[in-house]
A and B are shown apart, each in its own frame.
Chain A
Amino acid sequence: MTTETRPPQHPGEPQTPADPSGPAPGRGVHSPGRAAIAARHLRTDRWWLSQAVTAFGLLAFVGYSTWRAFFGLHTAYAAPYVSPFYSPCLAANCPAMKSGADWALFGSWWQLSPALIVLIFPLGFRLTCYYYRKAYYRAFWSSPPACAVAEPHASYSGETRFPLVLQNIHRYFFYFAIVVAGILTYDAVLAWRNPAGQWGHAGIGTLVLLANIVLIWAYTLSCHSCRHIVGGRLRHFSKHPVRYRMWNLVGKLNARHMQLAWASLISVGVADLYVYLLASGAFTDPRLF
């Protein structure tokens, strides 16, 4: 017994696809000459699970950060901690931060949330990141939904045309990301004070900011562009022993790039949430010393 139908004997005759959600006959895995299998894929495992989890995770973060970026100004600072979404704070309407990175470069004409000025950079960095590209091409664009599962699109040009050809500027976002990580490091140093501004104190918030900045650095340095710049572009590692060592170190981090991407995304969100809860008076920061 055959469980599949043979293609029509008359090539001019239109075919009806067995699976209406699949590509039209004659395209992709149904192209003439390929094995005649009506299903657009035959996977029996839960291939959609990682697509669904990724989509959920990214949407949750986008939702949360949008809310915080637009409406979080008055809960962006709880001495001595600043939310990573609001640092550096470049408009005049920022909350006063004791020796923090609030430089009113943009002056008072900027009436929107100051988070919007700086979030462009981490956003651009993550949007053009090779890992996040994989994640959202699969999760939101189903290109492909999972390996060996046919994608729903009629045509495909990858990253060869505008706008996706712009993914190639990832390297420049990487340079900005170094600056942003530097400023967040400064914030984490400032967190070793008490709310009155005296040094040598720490609270749970200090640890939250510290964990966040460690993860941010690990994610930033594990970037594929970083790996290329420090050494990957060379042809003769043997002539550049120092860069070869750096390339090896970055390579070790790079192998964990996906995990670091998620860990740092979560830690940024948690650090911001922590500051939000303190600033809105939900609880007071437990002091360690």
Chain B
Amino acid sequence: MSYQANFRVWRGDSSGGGLEPYQVEVNEGEVVLDIVHRLQATQAPDLAVRWNCKAGKCGSCSAEVNGRPRLLCMTRMSTLPPDEPVTITPMRTFPVLRDLVTDVSFNYTKAREVPSFVPPQGLKPGEYRMAQEDVNRSQEFRKCIECFLCQNTCHVVRDHEENKPAFSGPRFLMRVAELDMHPLDAAAEEGLDRKRSAQEEHGLGMCNITKCCTEVCPEHIKITDNALIPLKERAVDRKYDPLVWLGSVIKRRK
């Protein structure tokens, strides 16, 4: 069954732009990215969109459909009300390049700011042995396809541009959590306290655990429950636990 649907697609670049109306054919089983491709093929050959796999695995086609951050290739037309126009815009947290394509380099900068895995002393690559139950938690986080929808939705930076330097965003706080839970990461031995840097360098305290990152993650990673809150609890161990604090004061006295 096919029908004609109304769309409003944001067209423009960093100097300005707006929502352009289009009428496009929609067939059974199609996703929003199919429609964008049909638009390119029939009415708007210069429409810019980033995509790659069309299978929800490359994380390229992130945008906003009816105001909700989504992967274009994983948003079925059948889930949208057929009688209302469908609005497609680029992600609204990152600078726009053209049409539906944004400049996501903020995320690459933040990724580089997280110190990488510190190899344990005395173990050569290939000698690492880890129990499955010790890596289950990190494996959940490694399902991430780096679509940056969570970064885009997080109100800390979406609604406050000025917070961008101080806040790494859910995806990279989750990376800190992953390394802090890693059974072989030797950061502490090298004097790198990941719990401290989560708070002081990556802005963990700015997250108010309102869970929008979890709501939009296409990989259904429980970012808030399994990474951000556990990381906050780890920071509490370090900083706000009076027994730990007393212990460190006594140690300093000695």
Q: What is A's interface to B at a CB cutoff of 8 Å?
A: 1-7, 23, 27-29, 31, 33-37, 41-45, 130, 133-134, 137-138, 143-144, 147-151, 153, 155-160, 164-165, 168-171, 224-225, 227-228, 232-233, 235-238, 244, 254-255
Contacts and interface: CB of A to CB of B under 8 A. Distances in A.
Contacts of B81: 44
Contacts of B54: none
Contact of B209 (A134, A150, A153): A134
A151 B14 contact: no
The 10 closest A-B pairs by CB, nearest first: A4-B18, A42-B67, A158-B206, A6-B16, A238-B131, A43-B67, A160-B205, A147-B212, A228-B233, A33-B95
B18 A169 contact: no
Contacts of A148: 64, 67-69, 92, 153, 158, 212, 216
B240 interface: yes
Contacts of A138: 210
Nearest to A47: B67
A156 B100 CA distance: 28
B205 A165 contact: yes
Interface string B174-185: 000000111100
A43 B241 contact: no
The interface centre, meaning the residue of A23, A130, A147, A160 with most chain B CB atoms within 10 A of its CB, is A147
Contacts of A130: 209, 229
A192 B153 CA distance: 52
Contacts of B120: none
B23 to A, nearest CB: 13
B252 to A, nearest CB: 22
Contact of A28 (B94, B161, B230, B241): B161
Interface string B7-25: 0101010111111110000
Nearest to B19: A3
Contact of A171 (B17, B134, B236): B236
The interface centre, meaning the residue of A6, A35, A155, A228 with most chain B CB atoms within 10 A of its CB, is A35
B57 interface: no
21 contacts: A2-B19, A28-B160, A29-B159, A35-B12, A36-B12, A41-B67, A42-B67, A45-B66, A130-B209, A143-B210, A144-B155, A147-B69, A149-B67, A150-B155, A158-B208, A160-B206, A168-B236, A169-B240, A171-B236, A228-B233, A228-B237
A31 B153 CA distance: 15
Contact of A158 (B93, B134, B161, B205): B205
Contact of A237 (B20, B133, B182): B133
Given A6-B15, A134-B208, A238-B134, 9 more contacts: A28-B161, A29-B92, A36-B18, A37-B10, A159-B205, A160-B206, A224-B229, A235-B134, A235-B183
Interface of B: 8, 10, 12, 14-21, 64, 66-69, 81, 84, 87, 89-90, 92-96, 102, 131, 133-134, 153, 155-156, 158-163, 180-183, 203, 205-212, 215-216, 225, 229-230, 232-237, 239-241
A159 B205 CA distance: 5
A46 to B, nearest CB: 12
A34 B208 contact: no
Given A35-B96, A224-B229, A238-B131, A42 B89 contact: yes
A143 to B, nearest CB: 6
A6 B153 CA distance: 24
A28 B206 contact: no
B161 A31 contact: yes
Contacts of B15: 6-7
B159 A28 contact: yes
A235 B195 CA distance: 13
Given A28-B161, A235-B182, A244-B133, A147 B95 contact: no
A159 B162 CA distance: 16
A158 B131 contact: no
A164 B206 CA distance: 10
A184 B18 CA distance: 60
A161 B29 CA distance: 49
B132 to A, nearest CB: 8
Contacts of B239: 168
Contact of B241 (A23, A42, A171, A254): A171
A235 B133 contact: no
A148 B151 CA distance: 11
A169 B236 CA distance: 8
Nearest to A27: B161
Contacts of B230: 224, 227-228, 232
Given A44-B84, A156-B156, A237 B134 contact: yes
Contacts of A225: 233, 236
B67 A233 contact: no
Nearest to A257: B225
